[in-house]
A and B are shown apart, each in its own frame.
Chain A
Amino acid sequence: MKHFDFDVLVIGAGHAGTEAAAAAARMGVRTGLVTFNKTDIGVMSCNPAIGGLGKGHLVREIDALDGVMSRVADKAGIQFRLLNRRKGPAVQGPRAQADRKIYAREMQIEISGYENLAVIEGEVVDFIQQNNVICGCKIADGSEISSKTVILTSGTFLRGKIHVGDVSKSGGRMGAKPSVALAKRIDSFGLPLGRLKTGTPPRLDGRTIAWDKLEMQPGDDDPVMFSFLSNEPTARQISCGITHTSEKTHDVIRQNLDRSAMYGGHIDGVGPRYCPSIEDKVVRFADKSSHQVFLEPEGLDDHTVYPNGISTSLPEDVQETYVRSIFGLEDVTILQPGYAIEYDFVDPRSLDRGLAVRGLKGLFLAGQINGTTGYEEAAAQGMVAGLNAAAQVLGNEPVRFERTDSYIGVMIDDLTTRGVTEPYRMFTSRAEFRLSLRADNADQRLTPMGRDLGCVGDARFESFSAKMEDIASGRDVLQSVKVPNETASSFGLKINNKGAKRTAYELLTFKDMEPESLANEYEEIAVIPSDTLRQIKIEATYANYLERQKNDVALLEKDRAVRIPEGFSYDGLSSLSNELRLKLNNIRPENIAQAGRIEGMTPAALTLIIAKIRQSARKSANG
Chain B
Amino acid sequence: MDTIFAVSTAPGKAGVAVIRISGELAFATAEQLSGVLPELRYAALRKIRDGSGRVLDEGLIICFPEAGSFTGEKTVELQLHGSVSVVKAVLAELSGMNGLRHAEAGEFTKRAMLNGRLDLTQVEALSDLIEAETEAQRQQALKLLDGAFSEKLAALRATFIRAAALLEASIDFADEEVPEDVSDEVRDLLNSAKQELEKELAGLRVSERIREGFEIAIIGPPNAGKSSFLNYLAGRDAAIISSVAGTTRDVIEVRMDVGGIPVTLLDTAGLRDTDDEVESIGIERAIQRANSADIRVYMSENGLADFDGLRPGDFQLRSKVDEKPKANEISALTGAGIHEFLDKLQASLEVKVAQSSLANRERHAIALESGKAHILTALDLLEDGQDSYDLCSEEIRMAVRCLERLLGFVDVEHLLDEIFSSFCVGK
Contact = CB atoms under 8 A, between A and B. Distances in A.
A372 to B, nearest CB: 16
A52 B387 contact: no
Interface size class of B (residues with CB under 8 A): 35 or more
Contact of A604 (B23, B113, B175, B389): B113
A137 B386 CA distance: 52
A54 interface: yes
A606 B410 CA distance: 10
B99 to A, nearest CB: 11
A91 B114 contact: no
A274 B72 CA distance: 40
Interface string A601-622: 0111111101000000000000
Contacts of B409: 603
B394 interface: yes
Given A87-B386, A607-B416, A573 B1 contact: yes
Interface string A81-117: 0011011101100010000000000000000000000
Interface in A581-611: 602-608, 610
Interface string B93-132: 0000000000000000001011110000000000000000
A86 B172 contact: no
A4 interface: no
Interface in B370-414: 384, 386-391, 393-394, 397-398, 408-413
A590 to B, nearest CB: 19
B115 A604 contact: yes
A255 interface: no
Nearest to A275: B176
A545 B390 CA distance: 11
B250 interface: no
A88 B175 contact: no
B73 interface: yes
Contact of B114 (A432, A555, A605): A605
Contacts of A434: 390, 394
Contacts of B393: 429
Contacts, number: 89
B98 to A, nearest CB: 16
A545 B394 contact: yes
B171 A429 contact: yes
Contacts of B168: 427-429
Contacts of B73: 574-575
A548 B377 CA distance: 14
Given A429-B168, A604-B114, A607-B416, A511 B175 contact: no
Given A87-B386, A87-B387, A292-B177, A607 B171 contact: no
B390 A607 contact: no
A435 interface: yes
A303 interface: no
B412 A606 contact: yes
A492 to B, nearest CB: 14
Nearest to B168: A429
Contact of B172 (A54, A435, A575): A54
Nearest to A438: B390
Contacts of A607: 114, 412-413, 416
A90 B392 CA distance: 12
A575 B391 CA distance: 41
Interface of A: 52-54, 83-84, 86-88, 90-91, 95, 274, 291-292, 427-429, 432, 434-435, 511, 545, 548, 555, 573-575, 577, 602-608, 610
26 contacts: A53-B175, A54-B172, A83-B174, A86-B387, A91-B389, A292-B176, A292-B177, A427-B168, A429-B172, A432-B397, A435-B390, A435-B394, A511-B384, A511-B388, A548-B398, A555-B410, A555-B411, A574-B24, A575-B1, A575-B114, A602-B116, A603-B409, A604-B114, A604-B412, A607-B114, A607-B413
Given A53-B171, A577-B115, 14 more contacts: A84-B171, A86-B386, A87-B171, A87-B390, A91-B389, A274-B173, A291-B177, A429-B171, A435-B394, A573-B1, A575-B1, A575-B115, A603-B408, A607-B114
